[in-house]
A and B are shown apart, each in its own frame.
Chain A
Amino acid sequence: MTPSPPQTATTIAEARDLVKVFRDFWHRPKVRAVNDITFEVKRGEVFGLLGPNGSGKSTTIKMMLGLLHPTSGYLRVLDRSPDDVKTKARVGYLAEESYLYPYLTSEETLHFFGRLFNLNAKQREERIDQLLDMIGLQHARRRVVGEFSKGMARRIGLAQALINDPDLIILDEPTSGLDPLGCRQVKDLIRALARRGKTVLLSSHLLADVEDICDRIAILYNGRIQAMGSMHELLEQRNRYRVTLPEELAPDQLQRVLDEIRSVLGAEPDIDHPRLDLEEFFLRIIEKARNEVESQSGATPSHTLASYLSAPPS
């Protein structure tokens, strides 16, 4: 289920005793949004910030992007201050909502952000082409993003986050507003990026998202980290076991296995049929329907990662 842990454990981002206090007009402390948190993001891992709304996930991310300034504590991203333009040049960011210019087309939007990364025209052309393929919006290249559905806008948001071939990709609620299909595509994409060696930091309040793609997570509540560790460490129940039997098992074989268990344990094991999770089931149905009717609506991604997205030097 979980991919192999990163080989190199270089720290990409580090926060120590980080605090963010929001103040009101009179400069009086109003909310302690982030309260003394400490964590590290290692190169090549997918790190998830999990927590309910208002738990401090977005605030933490925005501090890592230089959009907010920590009240106190230590914060380094890519070995520099988050405000440093050299840091920003290597970071890709998808905001929790798509703050795009509604009057630009998909293409213009990506050109604009490409220019901000100082990419030349040729680079931009190439990357935009691949990105649009990747997110499946090639057909909406010349449509203004103001007309887009939330899902389409998220995809453009994702594309702009990747245009600079970032080393660190920060995704704030990457699946919010997407339908299950889109969710799955985005998750697949994140996994593919991780395989390519990219470091991903994401926040979400959707447990399934985090569970599916994160190597490590930190659970935030009320501005504090309540638990942190690898998915494996956190979820594994060391004193319980699950035995998966090969598929086509004849009833008498099953009976024999059960008898053996009863004799060893001296107790009755729980037994039921495995179920697909709903996401899995839903995607199968859709896949079947799509094969029958070639639908033109929505996005049809190529499922292939843009080739320029490079693996970081080890």
Chain B
Amino acid sequence: MNGILAIALISVRNAIRSKIVMVLLAFLLITLIGLPLTLQGDGTLPGHVRVLIRYTLGLATLILSIATVWASCAAISTEIRDRQIQLVVSKPVRASQIWLGKWLGLMAINVLFLMLCFVSTYAALRGTTTPDRWSDTEIEQLHTEILVAQYKLAPQPRDVREEVQRQYRAARARGEWPEEIPTQEVLPRIERALRTQANSVPAGSSNRWVFNVPHPPPDDRPLILRYRFSLSVMDLDPVSGSWTIGSLQASHRQVETFEQPPRTWHSVAISPDRIEDDGTLTVEFANHADRTVTVIFQPDEGLHLMVYAGGFLMNYFRAGLLILFHLSFLAAVGVTAGAYFSIPVAAMTSFYALLLINAARFIGRIAEGTASGGHGHAHGPHGGWFQDAIHLTSHLVHRGLYAVIRPLESANPLDYLVVGEWIPWTEVGYMFGVKVVLYSGILMVLGAWHMARKEVALPS
């Protein structure tokens, strides 16, 4: 333990002495001070706060990430280059201790600077959202919509299985689908159509959704219904409509009429006492458009309910933890790469690895694509075994790669913060397990294993 701490301390001092790391950290300071002073936002308070959080913390995280990768790549490789490692390796420390010491040192720097980033951004946030600069309504809006932690609820999905089967039988009976089209191709289409239909409201009619609210918020915290719709026509003219919220008894209803354009987010504040005793909340949308236009809510997240779950600061802290875990993973990648290669090669390797991780979804799609391509013989009879082999290899490579990087895929925690969305502790715990324990651990094993075998005193 003593040895690990000593190495950690040295790794801190090494990082601080790196010119590149210092330049990056200087950038970080400029960002933290300069950016909040020059940000424009869109002239509204929520816009200002969102831009502040997203760009100040986003840029700071980016700089910290680059600095971390660089410093971690340098951590072991420069000591090999400058041969200090020879004195260290000749002492009774295991390779894993050296790795861990380097990693812990970098994490100490990251914790320090991340704290600086989060504290100074919070200070900037407080300093620029004072009542003398913004109206009371805007400040109120800020505190109910952004500076909170709300969890996001989707409406209960409608059970369409029976309806799908019924329509399928009817369509077959009418001969709408030729026999050669297999059932498993038809059913999803019908289901998709039904789901879209369940989220559509034609002119003059209405549609109802039910939310299950497991933990109702305190009485002074309204629920926020956020929605965005598109139209069956190609224009952006506003549509008039109304929301009826709560049960059908008149005393429990809240009616909001509006005239709003499509394709942008709107919200309605709902008093928590509209929630029924069984924990459900019913909302009904009526389309009052005076023209033939159907309102369509995007099935994925065109309509959701934001429910107060806690204060902003704790959420902000959790976002910080998520970023820290990511940095810890980056540090692990860099330290291990530095154990294998010299700095420039290690840095390129690390950045390439990170690029792959960021392209996870793309790689996943390639994996899917090659899966069907391998069997499809789409290229005619001349493809033959050779093409099949290429397809299969490509498929396996991408599948394998995707399997490795998939667990690392995660939403940007800042995306949660800017919409005031609750970051669950489970997410924090999961990311800790994946990025810090599992992946950093695997990287440590790889790095230490190589270091233990490596001859650190080879003549140059």
Contacts and interface: CB of A to CB of B under 8 A. Distances in A.
Contacts of B458: 22, 68
Contacts of A221: none
The 5 closest A-B pairs by CB, nearest first: A115-B6, A67-B457, A89-B92, A116-B91, A85-B92
B183 interface: no
Contact of B10 (A69, A85, A112, A119): A112
Contacts of A103: 13, 17
B93 interface: yes
B3 A115 contact: yes
A119 B6 CA distance: 11
A86 B84 CA distance: 21
Contacts of A111: 6
A110 to B, nearest CB: 11
A93 B87 CA distance: 7
A66 B89 contact: yes
B83 A117 contact: no
B456 A67 contact: yes
A116 B3 contact: yes
B92 A115 contact: no
B183 to A, nearest CB: 58
A205 interface: no
B92 A116 contact: yes
A161 B90 CA distance: 10
A289 to B, nearest CB: 36
B187 interface: no
Interface in A50-70: 62, 65-69
Given A99-B87, A103-B13, A86 B92 contact: yes
A39 interface: no
Contacts of B93: 85, 116
Could you say which of B9, B13, B87, B458 has the most chain A C-beta atoms within 10 Å of its C-beta?
A: B87
Interface of A: 22, 62, 65-69, 83, 85-86, 88-89, 91, 93, 95, 97, 99-101, 103-104, 111-113, 115-120, 160, 164
Given A67-B457, A115-B5, A116-B6, A99 B92 contact: no
Contacts of A86: 92
Given A99-B84, A119-B2, 4 more contacts: A62-B457, A69-B453, A116-B6, A118-B3
B92 to A, nearest CB: 4
B459 interface: yes
Contacts of B92: 85-86, 88-89, 116-118
Contact of B91 (A83, A88, A97): A88
B287 to A, nearest CB: 71
Contact of B6 (A88, A112, A120, A164): A112
B10 A93 contact: no
B459 A22 contact: yes
Contacts of B278: none
B89 A67 contact: yes
A160 B91 CA distance: 10
Contacts of B7: 116
Contacts of B452: 83
Interface of B: 2-3, 5-7, 9-10, 13-14, 17, 82-84, 86-94, 452-453, 455-459
B17 A69 contact: no
B339 to A, nearest CB: 15
Contacts, number: 79
Contacts of B88: 116
Contact of B90 (A69, A88, A119): A88
A176 to B, nearest CB: 15
B61 to A, nearest CB: 28
Contacts of B2: 115-116, 118-120
Nearest to B459: A22
A115 B101 CA distance: 12
B90 A65 contact: yes
Contacts of A100: 84, 87
A111 B3 CA distance: 11
A68 B457 contact: yes
23 contacts: A65-B86, A65-B90, A66-B90, A67-B90, A67-B455, A67-B457, A69-B455, A85-B92, A85-B93, A85-B94, A86-B92, A88-B90, A91-B90, A95-B86, A99-B86, A100-B84, A101-B13, A101-B84, A103-B17, A115-B6, A116-B2, A116-B6, A160-B87
A100 B10 CA distance: 11
A101 B10 contact: yes
Contacts of A160: 87
A97 B455 CA distance: 18
B111 to A, nearest CB: 21
A18 to B, nearest CB: 15
Contacts of B3: 115-116, 118
A118 B1 CA distance: 8
A84 to B, nearest CB: 9
A115 B13 CA distance: 16
Residue of B5, B6, B17, B83 most packed against chain A (CB within 10 A): B6
A246 B235 CA distance: 121
Nearest to B94: A85
A69 B459 CA distance: 13
Given A62-B457, A95-B86, A113 B91 contact: yes
A117 B455 contact: no
A255 B116 CA distance: 92
B82 A99 contact: yes
B440 to A, nearest CB: 23
Nearest to A121: B2
A68 B89 CA distance: 11
